[in-house]
Structure 1
Amino acid sequence: MTHRSGRHFLQIPGPSPVPERVLRAISAQVIDHRGPDFAAVGKAALEGMKTIFKTEQDVIIYPSSGTGAWEAALVNLLSEGDRVLMYETGHFAALWKKMAEKLGLRPEFIEGDWRGGADPDAIEKRIRADKAHEIKAVAVVHNETSTGSVSPVAQIRQAIDAAKHPAMLMVDTISGLASIDFRFDEWGVDVAVSGSQKGLMLPPGIAFNAVSAKAMEASETGGMRRSYWDWREMKAINASGYFPYTPATNMLYGLNEAIAMLHEEGLENVFARHQRHGAATRAAVRHWGLEVLCRQQGQESGVLTAVMMPEGHSADAFRATALKHYDISLGNGLSKVADKVFRIGHLGDFNDLTLAGVLTGVELGLRKAGVPHQDGGIDAALKVLDEIPQPGVAA
């Protein structure tokens, strides 16, 4: 083993770096998850997550990855053979569709080009054609982590309502929650899925379903056979702050600390900070002469920026060079865009100085790897940071 001085830059779009306050909270001694002291921890986490989802409805917390919460959403709300309308925004939308197929559902994909979010008009057109109301749910990804595109969730709900269709709205906000604006109640979402390792600034290990009253009622008599994922068992015992099986106790300590940090900064400031850093990153990318994968103006993510490589150059080779020489980890391209893009994460515990260091590392990596570009991307990014005030910071 050889020691590398300085800190490693983990700039993949999740897991994001964990703040010291959260690490200290997680490091507390384990307590009895059936004992009287635990109830306060559990209640704080369950109630706190309602403020992050912006809901008065139930939030379920699982000791799992986001993939588990995907499955929970599907098996509690839908039955085998049900039709689900989904939209191909990228790799993770495709994985959710694949899971639906494995569970015996009948997902239908609206084809996308991986360069923007879900199109409300296309969804409305398909929903209007479903005169028999065979489609039981519309499922979309809020922030597509593979492409850096954001879907307009509120407009999708409006499209479903305009078609006077009873389909439930299911949203994956695994990388969107606590990073970019998400309003469960106001936007009329029925089930939302999220995870701990992105905007919540925790290690991987806990995941969430936010559930509308309509969806919870439907699950009481419908859904598939389930045990571990059952909302009903969770809801019954969550009322007292406990869980039906062993929870991720120390992760809940960290979750409560993370929720406190988000509210100390102010959620609106958190969202504005992410948007500001996304705009600055895109300015750097365009100055370098490279192309941002998301080309739908207004749908670019504040969580990450996916960057297309010039023809004939390997994104993975560039990433390996940047890691070897500058100790920075950048996200890889997934499935359809494998080795064609790299992804810069700018989420979570992140500030202007961090961004400057990250973009410097990327530019140095481009130079070292021999990728054609124009130097000075950092200056282009700093200009954007100068033009957009720091949220929550007095001038």
Structure 2
Amino acid sequence: MFLLFLLFLPLVNAKYTPDWDSLDKRPLPSWYDDSKFGIFCHWGLYSVPAYRSEWMWWYWKGTQPDANVVNFVEKNYKPGTTYADFAKDFTAEYFDAKQFAETVKSSGARQEKKFYGNKNENSDILFSQQISYPQMIEIVTKYRPEVVWSDGEWDKPEEYWKAKEFLAWLYNSSPVKDQVVVNDRWGTGTMGKHGGFLTYSDHYDPGTLLERKWENCMTLDKHSWGNRRDMKASEVYTAYDIIEQLARTIACNGNLLLNVGPNMHGQIPAIFEDRLAEIGKFVNIASEAVYGTKPWIYQNDTSASNVWYTSRYQSGLSNHVKRNIQHPVFNMQLEKYTIVYAWILDTAHDTFELKSVKTTDRTTVTILGTDVVLTGFGTAESLTIPSSKIDWKKLPRRDVIVLKIENAGSRNRNPLKSSN
């Protein structure tokens, strides 16, 4: 009776009906766009054998078993071992929720509270009706996540997962209806088309501005989302790699979601902790170029090597001004109102010339993380900074420079209708 009530609840005085025309019109809560950078974990029984990847069961028992995985299990576990047998070793005896939270906090990430629905483990229709659908409602009701990130949807259509019914309930009646956001993996063919923010694929990096909010979900381990006992240091992305991905992503209207894979003891591997702390040290220094920003009229500067842009409007603008200059996707370039952040990701140059930035007599450039402020650019069609004017000793990193550019000249350009 309780389940039936929940099934029909979205249809009573519903603002959103269980169809994509209605569900896709639901605005994305602003907190998600402002957050820019988040952390998530893949952690399960596959963390016990910790071999190959989080798809270990499939490589072992799927339709085309991997000989290396089969041999690994036969060599290290007794005959007749099942996947469920790994549960007894999934002890998580060193798990410390506060320590997990501190590790995430050290990265500078602000998007943390999630539920990860992985739904492709059983093809029986009763699985969705009696297990996955009521479980999702129970989890949302009990834990009140701000992100519901669905995955494993591709083998079955959206009708099988009751995806539209669940989203209608989530948006209309759930305890998180006003702040929750969801991704786009809700059944065969929905990824990149329907839902909340769009993921398109793992490690998605379009390199150009997208009108609809999207997410780049990637992992620190280059080869796996889950924990691997044979992972090498060379197989972990560097802090610079992640900073570059962050810049590329938020410049194009995306958020970066970075994964770490804890081990069966409940620990985040030390190399991941080090990476997150190093990333966070820089992100916290350059935070104003990250959080609460929007894409600019240019996403990158083709005249310079590996430069990406973010932007914001000056604080304290009147409501009248805001109404006239507001755009949901990007900030216009208006001399009096726009702050531009240039992420210079290739610093091995004698001169940095940004042809997308028009200077005026009032233009100032602050190098974030330092007290260096550059002026005297005059009126020019591009911004040029000699390397000699940068106090390299004061920089938080030598391989990334973030410039805060104020009072740059106005430019009339719609990046959604122009190519970089």
TM over 0.5: no
The normalised TM-score by structure 2 is 0.27
- What is the TM-score when the length of structure 1 is the normalising length? 0.28
Name the one with the larger helix percent: 1
